[in-house]
Amino acid sequence: MPRIAGVDIPANKQVQYSLRYIYAIGPHTARLVLKEAEIEPDVKAKDLTEDEVSRIAGVIDRNYQVEGAARRAVTANIARLRDIGCYRGLRHRRGLPVRGQKTRSNARTRKGPKKTVAGKKGVKEMHRG
């Protein structure tokens, strides 16, 4: 298994897909990295030479924030939104969807398991007729 940016990437997949196992590298970024490192995207990761692996690692180190640094940046951005008290920050603070989704029927991923609220019991009146 080749190791790039401190992450073991799958050896028997194409490099363009293997690179996505690194946090903060998606499809587009993976293609850009391979283009700059001058490596074919459809080569299997196990077939890369040490030189090619080091070229990929160099491109990533120079141009991209990945793994721990990227996670810290995301956490800092969310903390900033919370501190300034903007709408998105309030949604993060309350654990609700941030990007405008409806919450009446869905949003279980953000809201967690259902919390049943006691509703009004149907009171049946006895009436004489």
Query: Helix axis angle, 50-63 relative to 27-37, nearest 10°?
Result: 120
Mean pLDDT of the chain: 90
pLDDT at residue 4, rounded to an integer: 82
Please name the residue that has the structure tokens 């050896």. Answer: 11
Average pLDDT over residues 81-91: 95
Q: CA triplet 62, 65, 68: central angle to 5 degrees?
A: 130
And the tokens for 109? 């991923």
Give the pTM: 0.74
List pLDDT tens digits, range 21-37. 999 999 999 999 999 99
